[in-house]
Amino acid sequence: MKDNRLEQRIQHSLNAELSGLNTTSWQRDQFFENATGGTKVKRKVSVVGVLIAALMLITITAFALTNGFGILEYHPDQSANQAYVDNIMTLNQTWDGKYFSATIHEAVFDGMKMTFTMSISPKENADPVFVIPRITAISGGKELHTFTTHSNVFMDDGFWVPCMEPDVIYDYDHIGVDVILTDDFVTFNPVEDQVEWAVSFDVLHTDWPIDYTAEDEPMIGEPEWTDSDYEKYEHQFVKAYEEKRVLLNQAAMLSPFADAVPHDPSMEDEMVFPDYLETLLTQDAFTIEEKFVFSFTADPLPVKHEKQSVNFETPNGLLAQVESLSVSVDQIGIKLRITRPDSDQPLQLEDWQGWLIAVLAQGAETSFPESNYGPEEDGSLHYNMRWTITGETNQLILIPVEDELYFDVIKNQGPVTEEQQARMVYIDLE
């Protein structure tokens, strides 16, 4: 696959499955560089899939089922956030299909992020089917860009019903999904008008026998395979297609098999990934047997922004400019531009390593779900942050913090040293 499509899928996977773990931004970037580096870009897809499969076992949590799996069971930290709670919508829309039934229970939209919960119940003795989800948003007659930042079951590559991954059981009764409005897969794109949401599913069935590879590509950090090893591994999928067998890797992903289907390479640039995957799979091996959609409208809550332009000097002598800042009742999105104040020399990743930015909110708690940084074409660095907030606030505090002290500051919800207090940057909101 082309680099841009693979980066989107890997970045999504990292954001979704590494959120909340004790990893630094530098470690995330290093992981991403390893996953996409070198000449084996296409071959790294299933590596990430294997890691995601292991991490999903950590993220899936069972809750007591009352009137369906609710938002506050998926995000219990928002239970005391009244503005958030007051805007949870009860949907209870149900679809009953040939292979499984599905119910979407609740949804909430804050102007930047939409969260919904649902359940899926496989029919007894039904054949396994592959489901490709799509989430769309339309406001003012214009389709907006959406990006799934977290889910405890869904994956960009679609999912099986029932679970087909060996030795893994997904909790389909308790599915939660977070989706942001964005133009670049990271920063928020807030809206002020009502949004029409649609959560649709295409159900693919195959009459071909389903097999698994004997082994999978190595995990990140394990010894690399030789070119000959990769060629043998990938040839398995080509041979399976020629023999009219569906071959899954050990994470039950279908993308390696789909890549083995003969196709025009231009598809990889011209089509969004769900359409690309479905087009290849339904060329011979699968048939779209059912389609269904859950739809609802939501009015956004007011989103706050910085009152004035904000610039500050970082501890390592660089200049940070707040390019965009958006604060809703449960999300904070910040984009910084890092430059050299007295030089045109381009910045590199290592120029920022050792430092992270903690975000505190006056009168509310914050928690760290995702951040990333990297070089821009103009020689600057971008630093994007996405935080969860559990209440309303009129002021944010940014604190540049050494890597090793970062999570202590977040856990304590305040500075831990006088030196860090001196670095605090106050941002008033309106």
Tell me: the pLDDT tens digits for 279-338? 999 999 999 999 999 999 999 889 999 999 999 998 888 999 999 999 999 999 999 999
Cβ contacts of 168 within 8 Å, gap of 6 or more: 53, 56, 57
In this prediction, residue 21 carries a pLDDT of: 36
Whole-Å CA distances, 389 to 77, 187, 355, 361, 409: 9, 16, 22, 8, 15
First to last CA, the chain: 43
In this prediction, residue 6 carries a pLDDT of: 47
Torsion of CA 244, 249, 252, 255, to 10 degrees: -70
In this prediction, residue 269 carries a pLDDT of: 79
In this prediction, residue 414 carries a pLDDT of: 66
For 136, phi and psi rounded to 5 degrees?
-125, 155
Q: Please give the average per-residue pLDDT across 268-284, as a whole number.
A: 89
Polymer length in residues for the chain = 430
In this prediction, residue 373 carries a pLDDT of: 84
**Phi-psi label, residue 186: left if phi above 0, alpha if psi -120 to 50, beta otherwise:** alpha
Is the distance from CB of 164 to CB of 210 less than 8 angstroms? Answer: yes
More confident residue, 230 or 324: 324
- Residue 116's SS3 state is strand
* CA separation for the pair 347, 402 (Å, rounded): 19
Whether the per-residue pLDDT at 7 is higher than 60: the answer is no
* CA separation for the pair 169, 153 (Å, rounded): 10
Provide the sign of the torsion angle of the four alpha carbons 270, 274, 275, 276, taken in this order. positive
Token pair, residue 361, equals: 């909110």
* CA separation for the pair 318, 394 (Å, rounded): 27
For 15, phi and psi rounded to 5 degrees?
-60, -40
The per-residue b/e assignment along 296-327, b for 16 or more CB within 10 angstroms, e otherwise, is bebebbebbebeeebebebeeebbbebebbbb
In this prediction, residue 215 carries a pLDDT of: 78
pLDDT per position as a tens digit, 13-51: 444 444 333 333 333 343 334 333 333 333 333 333 333
Token pair, residue 328, equals: 């809703």
Residue 28 carries which side chain, given as an amino acid letter? R
* CA separation for the pair 249, 210 (Å, rounded): 11
Compute the 3-state secondary structure of the chain and give helix, strand, coil in percent, each to the nearest 5: 25, 35, 40
Domains of the chain: 3-56+209-284 (no CATH), 66-208+289-298 (2.60.40.1630), 311-428 (2.60.40)
In this prediction, residue 371 carries a pLDDT of: 84
Residue 372: pLDDT band with limits 50, 70, 90: confident
pLDDT per position as a tens digit, 135-163: 999 999 999 999 998 888 876 679 999 99
